[in-house]
Structures are given as C-alpha cells and as structure tokens.
Amino acid sequence: MATHGTANAMPLARRAWNLLHVHAQRAHATARRALDAARATGDARARGWARLALGVHGLYYATAAEAARELRRAERDFQSCGDRAGWILARAAIARSMWRQGQFAQALALVLPLRDEGLRVLRHEQRGVLLNTIAGCYSAYGDSAQAFAYMFEALHDAGPRRGRGFDTVLHCNLSHELMQIGDCEEALRHVERGLERCRGLDNPRLLAVLRINRVVCLTELGRPAQALPDIAALLAVPASADGRGPMAPHHETLAIAALHAGDLALGADLIGRAEAAGEAQLPDERLERATAHALLALARRRPRDALQALRPAQPLVEDDAAEGSSLRVRAQFLDVLALANERAGRTTQALHALRAWQRVHQRQAQMASRARYQAATLQTELLRLQHALDAKDAERRATERAQSALVALNTELQRRIEQVQALQTALRQQATQDALTGLFNRRHLNDTLPTMLALAARDGQPLALAIIDLDHFKAVNDGHGHDAGDRLLAAFGALLALGCRRSDIACRYGGEEFCLLLPRSTADGARRKVQALLRRWRATRLEHGGRWLEGLSFSAGVADTLAGRTTPAALLKAADDALLEAKRSGRNRVRLAVEPGQAGTHAHDPGEARC
C-alpha cells in the first residue's frame, strides 16, 4: 500500500505543477492530494513539488506571506532529497513573494545567484519561470530595461507548445514592461495575445491582470472609453480563491481610466473603493490614487482641490531613488499636475510640470534604447553559457555524435543571432519613427537638434524651428472618435512630409504637436513656409465614416538662432512661447518668437494667417 502511495504522489505533484496556469482550481486540488499521498509515504521529493505548486498558487490566490510559508517548507524538502531543480524554483518563488511585499532589493539579491545553475538544470517552462522571476524583480526594482531583456528570453523557453500556459503570463508581463518604456501599442498587442491564449485556460487571476493591463494601454493611447467594458468585467470578478485572489484591485488605475472616459460616477465609486481598501502602500499606488483624486476634482472644475490632492504625493515624483515608482505613472502624475496648474491659472508651475513630464518621457526613450542593448547582451551571455555546457557534453560523446552536436549548436547560434538582429531592427525603428504619422519622433528630434545647431554655428548659417499644434484636436476625438483623430494626425504628417525640403526635418513632437527644423532658414522665412502649410491645411477636407472633417487649422510658433538661441532648450522654449502666444491670440495663426530684450511677441505679424 505504501509503495502504491509513493508511486502516485510524484505524478500527482508533477501534474499539479503543470496545471498551475492551465486550470488554477484543479492545480490546487491536485497539489493537496499529492501532499497527502507524500506525507503518508514520507516521499520528500513529491512533498516538495506538491508544496511548491501550493506556494506558487498562493502567490496568485493567497497573500504573499502565506505563500512564502509553504514555499519555505518546499525549499527544505528539496534540500533534504537533493532535488536541485525543485530547490531553485522554490527559491525563485520565495523571491517573488518578497518583492510582492515590497522587498525589491532583497528579492533581486536572492534570485540572481540562481541564474547560472538554473539555466543548466531547468528546462522549457521551468527555465522560463526562473527568467521571468528575475525579470519581475528587476521590474519591481524599477529597471525595465533588464526586465524586458529577461522576459523576452523567457518567452523563447516557454512558448505555446511547451509552456503549459506560462507563455500567457509572459505576454502579460511583457505588456507591463512595454508600458513602462512607453510603447503602449506593442504592449496592447501582447495583451491581446495573452487574452487569446486565456480562452484555453481556466485562470481568472491571469485574465484579470491582462484586463487591467488593457485598461492601462487604452488609457495611455487616449482611448479610455474602450476600457469601460474591461472595468465592468473586473469589478464583477470576486476577490476569492475561485476568482482573482487577493491581488491588488488597482481601483486607482481603473478610476483614472473611467475619469478620462468621462464617467464621473464610476470614477468616484472606484476612488471610494480604493480608499476603503486602506492606505496605499507602494509608490505607484500612492501616485495613482492622488492622480485619480485630482482628475475627479478637475472634472468638477475644482483645480485648487486637484492641486491639494496631488501635493502630498509630489515628493515621490521628484525622488529618483524611490523604489517601486515607474516612469509611466510619474509621467501620468505630471501630466495631471500640469493641467491642474494651468486651470488654476498658475502658468509658471504648469510649464515647470510640463518640463518635468518631458524629462520623464526622455528617460523612457533612453530606457527603451537600453532595453534593446540589454536584450542583445543577455542573449550573448546565455549563448556563451550554453556553448560551455554543450562543450562539456561533447567531451563525453563519441566523435561522430560530437559532430552532430556542433551542427545543432551552430543552428541554434544562427537562430539566436537572427532573433537579436530582428529585435535590434524593430527597436531601432521604434526608437526613431512615429508609427502613426511616419515622421520622426521626439527622441530623434532630441538626438538631431544639437548636431544641427552645431552645424549652423560652424557654417555661420541660421537654423529655424517651428512648433505646430493642431487646433481643437480634442473636439475631433470627442465628436468623431479616436479613429478620426488618428486619420487627422496621419494626414497632417503626410502634408508636412510633402511640404518639406530634403534638408528639413519634420517630427511628431507629442500628441497633436509637431516640430519642424529648417536649416539655412531665418524665422521670417520659416514663418512664411509654415503659413503656406496653414493655408493648405485649412483647405484640406477629410472624409471619415460618411462625415467630412473640414475647417481645419493649427497654431504655430517660430524661432531661429540669429537671436543668440544657441542651445536646444533655448530654441525650443522660444518657439514654444510663441506657440502659446498664438493660441492665446485665437489660434489659426503663426507667431514669431520674442527677440531678446523685447517686451512681448509681435501683436500683428506681417502676413499672419487668421480666420
């Protein structure tokens, strides 16, 4: 009877592990049966795998502290029977429980030493679990570049055919990291892949996290109304063992989406739910809660109350050393802070917040670039380790089998190189080009402008810069839908591209703002060119869904280097100030920047375009 129990315990424990992401409830029940069988027979190895399955299940559906207790028991069982694979996975899961409790640096210090042995011992989805845990620790620690590199590698080891549902977790986590580096379009694609894979799984927790990520993506992309069905679905999922488990409900995140979508009642209800859950502990939660309160106050036309709500959390944005604070959430906070200051009539403070927002976006772009190199570096490092392992195996094989192994290794090396090259190509294009308009993006502007200023100074030639803002763009989105807004942006990008010289550089500056660099042009010459663009834009009519978009216009500010503006910041600020003056003057016009020493912009520029 004991022998029969021993024979059943280990297969049951393994089955429980394999079911963790496929069918959460069945995995838990199977692990319980395996643990009972292992206890009856004294099988430490089966007991360890059963407890490991229970502990990992607990990370999703219990508290992190409860899961850690079961995982510590599993660690001792694996230690006693010498099962290194199980021991490594148990230690990795303990690290996950630590960062779930806010111990970010300690979690990373625990899991990183497991990597090299884990890559030798673990296979397929187990290896992906370890790499994903390292990625999660880096993510919680605020290093999205490292996190992205490890997750990308983990996805190769836990694909749909051999990942036992774990690839869905990786799509979920990759979407989170892509959001942190500002690539919400690609993040949304990973969310959709994860949701598609979820159709074949019974894992309500994972489905809930994917829905939350989709809410964030749609909100960041300016489509919050599309997130309302996901919010309703999330609120309907019970926080119980057969639902999403006691995970953070992210009521603040959902509230921000609802308020951006214009549903004030839902937004206020979600803020109330967040407050009822107690004080926010993690930095991102505190920032999002403050942001949600501020958005609600702004919706109620109380900008002073919005500033009051934001003020306690503002030190978290200014503290770069704060652990657990993501760039995405900081940017979101600063955007609302700028809006609150603007509506409160605090122009200087609004501009200060906008500049801080710009700096955060620049850091996101730098992090995206660093992620590209981290992915390539990690793959090279792992290939070197794999090569060493294969070399040791080859020494124990016969000559003819060694030849076959070398061929296989070269094939794998070529595949990895192609993957790295494909990733580098994709990230390089994403880093410099705006996907919607086809123009260069803001990062390319930041990289190019200092060089063009230096060339202009060397040649003794002027350099003009124009910042263009499409008038009443929000009204197009609100009245015709975001598809119409995207069509409008794409059409204006095409107009800019056709109206530029080969030496000019046109960039999408952000949202509905564009930037135009004109070498060997004065501000006055650039103004005439931009006014010509304005006339063409006003004559443009776009058909969308059986309705015409017409009466289009934009506001622009123009500056050049002849007035002693020899730094990127000075030139951009001069054009930006002129743009603000154009908008204050009634929009649909082009304004020249104030010359140093003058009291204000020209009240009536010659040839100024007006309605």
- The greatest distance separating any two alpha carbons of the chain, rounded to the nearest whole angstrom, comes to 100
512 carries an active-site annotation = yes
Helix H or strand E segment including 147: helix 144-157
Q: Are 323 and 141 in contact (CB under 8 A)?
A: yes
Angle, alpha carbons 115-116-118 (nearest 5°): 65
Separation between Cα atoms, residue 232 and residue 227, nearest integer Å: 9
Identified catalytic residue from 512, 513, 595, 608: 512
Q: Report which residue type is found at 601.
A: T
**Which is nearest to 386 in space by CA: 153, 557, 196?**
153
**Which is nearest to 17 in space by CA: 80, 100, 102, 78?**
78
**Which is nearest to 578 in space by CA: 600, 599, 560, 593?**
593
Separation between Cα atoms, residue 284 and residue 387, nearest integer Å: 41
- Look up tokens 């803020």; give the residue: 271
Query: Based on the number of CB atoms within 10 Å of its own CB, is 177 exposed (0-12), middle (13-18) or buried (19 or more)?
Result: buried
Q: Are 21 and 202 in contact (CB under 8 A)?
A: no
> What is the per-residue DSSP string for 158-188?
S-TTTSTTHHHHHHHHHHHHHHHTT-HHHHH
Separation between Cα atoms, residue 241 and residue 61, nearest integer Å: 6
Separation between Cα atoms, residue 319 and residue 317, nearest integer Å: 6
Separation between Cα atoms, residue 334 and residue 350, nearest integer Å: 9
Give the catalytic positions in this structure: 512
